[in-house]
């Protein structure tokens, strides 16, 4: 295994989305990823665009936000190392649901939808584990959103 792949393997092993995967499964994912670096203010993707990549934040910060008509940008989250974003584009054909903008110079590992689909098709055990981890991650985010909506409703800010 190359040095780059070994570094990626170590980075991916720390990501909750890939928790519980065997070293061989992580190596398959590491080989399927590429690396991107972006400077402050770079728009990684924009609301409404077609999505075809999942991003793993290795260094730096990324702001996930939406433009609210008449109000401007509403930050939904500021993500740091270890966070994953863009995963919904791997699961459906819908356009991006938010903007992703570099908040602090960053380094990302990128997994394309095509590479992801190939991995899941060829490695059924990997597919099972990764998809269950995605379900857990999305369920956690939905619970957080429900709590925020409840707070806004009760506080009269909704």
d(CA 7, CA 30): 9
Q: What pLDDT score was predicted for residue 158? A: 54
Q: What pLDDT score was predicted for residue 72? A: 86
∠33-36-42 over CA atoms, to 5°?
140
Q: Please give the class, per CATH, of domain 1-8+35-112.
A: mainly beta
Q: Which residue positions in the chain have pLDDT lower than 70? A: 1-4, 156-158
Q: What pLDDT score was predicted for residue 3? A: 62
Q: Which two tokens stand for residue 97?
A: 């649901």
Q: What pLDDT score was predicted for residue 125? A: 87
Q: What pLDDT score was predicted for residue 53? A: 95
Whole-structure pTM over 0.75, yes or no?
A: yes
Beta-sheet strands, E only, within the chain:
34-38, 43-45, 53-68, 72-79, 84-85, 99-112
154 Cα distance to chain centroid: 30
Q: Which two tokens stand for residue 65?
A: 């936000």
Residue spans of the domains in the chain: they are 1-8+35-112, 123-158
> For residue 31, with 0-12 CB atoms within 10 Å meaning exposed, 13-18 middle and 19 or more buried, which class applies?
middle
The H or E element that residue 91 is part of is helix 88-91
Closest by Cα among 123, 104, 107, 95 to 26: 123
Q: What pLDDT score was predicted for residue 7? A: 85
């Amino acid at each position: 295994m190359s040095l780059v792949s070994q570094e990626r393997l170590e980075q991916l092993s720390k990501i909750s989305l890939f928790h519980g995967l065997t070293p061989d499964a992580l190596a398959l994912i590491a080989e399927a990823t590429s690396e991107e670096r972006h400077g402050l203010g770079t728009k990684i993707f924009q609301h409404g665009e077609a999505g075809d990549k999942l991003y793993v934040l290795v260094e730096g910060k990324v702001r996930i936000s939406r433009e609210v008509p008449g109000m401007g940008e509403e930050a939904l989250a500021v993500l740091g190392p270890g966070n994953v974003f863009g995963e919904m584009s791997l699961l459906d054909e819908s356009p991006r649901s938010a903007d992703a903008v570099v908040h602090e110079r960053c380094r990302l590992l990128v997994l394309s939808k095509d590479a992801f689909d190939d991995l899941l098709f060829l490695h059924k055990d990997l597919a099972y584990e990764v998809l269950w981890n995605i379900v857990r991650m999305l369920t956690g985010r939905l619970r957080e959103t429900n709590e925020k909506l409840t707070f806004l409703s009760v506080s009269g800010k909704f």
